[in-house]
Amino acid sequence: MIKSKQINEDLNNTKYIFVTGGVVSALGKGIVAASIGRLLKERGFKVTLQKFDPYINVDPGTMSPFQHGEVFVTDDGAETDLDLGHYERFIDESLSQANNITTGRIYQSVISKERRGDYLGSTVQVIPH
């Protein structure tokens, strides 16, 4: 019971910091996020980082490195944004595919669920009306 109470207290104390800079590349958003994560970890906080990419590609593995840059391969074999490599080194934690979300992966998941019938015939819309 004490463990359950502690988990609930931890969830109630969860805080989020968003680092954004629009779609402009090479501003240093990833390094800023990794640096903030490191500073918080040094102060005793539990830290993880999440990267959200708006592109329709499922992952950057098949994208041109001239357009997107290098990819970082996580321990679980996922080809992710290079920022995840910075995150891992700065906070000294192993990250996974779950730490790199793309619009393409979200669409892929929604379409798979629709094909299986998970939405029970409902219309699936990007912006419901």
Does 129 map to a domain?
Answer: no
CATH number at residue 49: 3.40.50.300
The pair of three-digit structure tokens given for residue 48, joined into one six-digit string: 């993880």
Q: In total, how many domains does the chain have?
A: 1
Number of H helices and number of E strands within the chain? 5, 4
pTM of the model: 0.81
CA distance 51 to 23: 13
Summarised one tens digit per residue, pLDDT across range 59-82 is 998 888 888 788 999 999 999 999
CB atoms near residue 62 (< 10 Å): 10
Summarised one tens digit per residue, pLDDT across range 3-24 is 555 556 666 788 999 999 877 7
Does 56 map to a domain?
Answer: yes
What is the share, in percent, of the chain residues with pLDDT greater than 90? 67
- Assign 39 a pLDDT band (cuts: 50, 70, 90): very high
CB 33 within 8 A of CB 89: no
- Domain housing 56: 2-116
